[in-house]
Amino acid sequence: MKIAIFLIGILFFSFISAEIKFNLVHQTKIKITYPDGDDPIIKNGIKDALEILKRDDFYTKISEKQDFTFTSERPKHLSQMIKDATISIRVRMYDGGENTATLAYVTSDYPNTIFINKGKTGRSRASIANTIIHEVIHSIDRSNQDARFGHGGNSSEGKKESAPYWIGQLAENLLNRDSFVKNYKVNYELSKNTNDPSLSLWYNDGLRHVEETEELEESMILD
């Protein structure tokens, strides 16, 4: 009995520390609102984007990058600028249709408004968060007079390594990794409760898979 309590204690502690390691830490001063809309995918995308803006691992990954295309700003400095940004952004939808590559945009006339193409929202929640973070970077860019960190035109060569594209993709990768780990946690609980050996085998395979995926994603985004 004592051993069982001890083991439960260890398990509980490891879950708590995993949560702490994952999240939190930074209080962002970036506000993102969606006052006129009720599309759940947009609401969830905003929630995820705001969550990402509070995470230390997000800023660490940005500052560790060697450089971005289309800017002379150092990634470390850029990371600090996003951390320090005080900006209120409003999300609005527009009907751009499906037959376009444009997912969203920020204009000089409305630098604090992200316009999202309603015709291109049939995507994952993490992909929507990617778009929102991408546009947040444009918005911070436009609110800073001395710095420029865009990606040229929409068909520019090397734009994937630009700050808006790379940082948006980083957010999406972090979110996908999180939900992956969370799913395996759920299945782990299930395997404990049912004592189904195939489930726990699956969980163990899953854990290995998580580790491999983590490595793959790291090399993908740091290249």
For Zn ion, the closer CB: 164 or 206 = 164
**Minimum CB separation from Zn ion for residue 71, in Å?**
13
For Zn ion, the closer CB: 22 or 105 = 105
DSSP secondary structure, 113-175, as one string: EEEEEGGG--S-HHHHHHHHHHHHHHHHHHH-SS-----SSTT-TTGGGBHHHHHHHHHHHHH
Tokens of 202: 């699956």
Residue number, nearest CB to Zn ion: 164
Q: Which residues bind Zn ion (CB under 5 A)?
A: 164
Go through the chain and tell me how many residues it has. 223
**Minimum CB separation from Zn ion for residue 174, in Å?**
19
State how far the alpha carbon of 38 is from the alpha carbons of 64, 122, 151, in Å: 37, 15, 30
**Minimum CB separation from Zn ion for residue 111, in Å?**
13
End-to-end CA distance of the chain: 50
For Zn ion, the closer CB: 75 or 164 = 164
CA dihedral of 113, 119, 125, 130, whole degrees rounded to 10: -50
For Zn ion, the closer CB: 78 or 184 = 78
d(CA 104, CA 2): 57
For Zn ion, the closer CB: 45 or 164 = 164
**Minimum CB separation from Zn ion for residue 179, in Å?**
25
d(CA 207, CA 201): 10
Hey, CA dihedral for 181, 186, 192, 194, is it positive or negative?
negative
